[in-house]
Amino acid sequence: MGKSLNYNDYCGEKGLKLNLGCGKDTKAGFVNIDFFKRGNAQFNMVANLSQELPIDNEACKYIYCSHFIEHLEWFDGEKFIRECYRVLEKGGIFRIIFPDFRKIFSAYVNRDASFFELFSKHLNEVDFPYYEAVYNDPEKIKKYRISDPPPDWHLSQNPEDRKRLRLRVRKYRSFIELVDWFVHQYGEHKTLYDEDSMKALLQEAGFSEICASSFNPEIDSASSLRRKISAYIEAVK
């Protein structure tokens, strides 16, 4: 973690397209970078994205970042945005997507059952059975998912890993429990944003043209869950 796998392959290059905090959502034609490798995802680089990006100044024409920045502490999030500005060429585009907590809190206040329905169904009918099974019998899950192995920590007997896993063995029965999941996501979410706060951060970093965008099927995740809660913003250096 925090160390590039093949930084020399990109050192000195220009016109790069980055996919930062990509998880398993790797994209062809992009340099796909994340903290650590997940499953069978084909990464280009592993790097600690809360630190300086292992990319040259003004080496990029496009940066894509979806549902990553909320996993950073607020000061690391500010640093991350400044780093994205540094590595973009003049006129380069930064597309950032994140949970829009204005939408989430508005749905809670208005008791909007239709907003929460998809998430409740997924958490209770997809995530819960899996986490319950892997918590109680990790070896069985390991054999069952040979072609798509779970992360190592799902199978670990380390007490901290077991605690992290136990946090996921939960049913969600009320709106406030779902809001709790959005905000904390098992302790993985660190910072909340909405459209206004993100635009302010981008402006402070030096971006000039900043505007709200919308779902783009050519590049964004088609997940109906992601689309429902996401804010999409593009900024130009």
Q: Which pTM does this prediction carry?
A: 0.89
Mean pLDDT over 87-95 rounds to 97
Least Cα distance to 208 among 219, 221, 196, 199 occurs for: 199
Confidence of residue 25 (pLDDT cuts 50, 70, 90): confident
Domains of the chain: 7-99+193-236 (3.40.50.150), 102-187 (no CATH)
pLDDT given for residue 115 in this prediction = 96
Confidence of residue 1 (pLDDT cuts 50, 70, 90): very low
For residue 125, the one-letter residue type is E
Is 28 a residue whose pLDDT tops 80?
yes
Residues 6+ apart with CB under 8 A from 155: 134, 138, 139, 141, 142
Task: State the chain's mean pLDDT as an integer.
Answer: 91
Encoding tokens for residue 192?
């909340």
pLDDT given for residue 8 in this prediction = 52
